[in-house]
Amino acid sequence: MTRSRVPWTLFLAAALLAPAAALADGGASLPRPSSRQALTPEQEAVELYNDGNSYRDKAASLEKEAASETDAKKKEKLEKKAFERHEGSIKKFAAATEKDPRLFQAWGNLGYAYRKTGKYAEALQAYDRALEIQPGYTPAIEYRGEAYLGLNRLDDVQNSYMTLFSSDRARADELAAAIDQWIQKKKAEPGAVDPAALDRFAAWAAERKQLASQTSALTLPQPPRW
């Protein structure tokens, strides 16, 4: 007696209701298919997506370990391993999007992995694709904002923050933290950033931080947990 195939719509519904594992991690893993029969392309995409999440989570663990490592050689080794895990996740997430081009979580995490490996143009394309499919997908909005930071596209960073501020305050706070780190880094090493533009951006960030602290006690609508 064979087991019946579980309809894909059930997996998708469960995915949209599943809580996010952690804000900094992107998207939560999706329910794995339980059927022993041949998987549909959509179910294969879920398997690949979850495998990519495993790579991503390991990379995050290695990055955290590297951040606290004081030995330069050990730190470099840990960072290299983390980079390799991100590259592995790119392969998994990309394969997932090939199996199911509508799996917006895979597009979002693909953008995350591209950004972590310094491939900002590819990251933006992946984030844009995720948001074409699911316009309210706030993880992609936040991570795209961080990609804009990497490209010094400050107007786009501001727009990303304002979108999140009105729709997902937790994600807005996450982007604000990344903005603070970027500002401190650029004040020490401006690079190609115009000093006047940096000062204006820093002033804007300070104003937004103050406003956020004043409104933190307000009850805001809760966004979907992806």
Of the pLDDT bands very low, low, confident and very high (cuts 50, 70, 90), residue 29 is confident
pLDDT at 24 over 60: no
Cα distances (angstroms) measured from residue 25 to each of 22, 58, 140, 173, 198: 5, 11, 11, 15, 28
Of the pLDDT bands very low, low, confident and very high (cuts 50, 70, 90), residue 30 is confident
CB contact at 8 A, 105 and 49: yes
- Region 214-223: mean pLDDT is 61
d(CA 171, CA 226): 12
Sequence-distant (6+) residues with CB within 8 A of 197 are: 154
The larger pLDDT score, comparing residue 36 to residue 8, is at 36
For CATH 1.25.40.10, the residue range(s) in the chain are 10-31+38-134
Highest CATH level, class, for 10-31+38-134: mainly alpha
What pTM, to 2 d.p., does this model score?
0.77
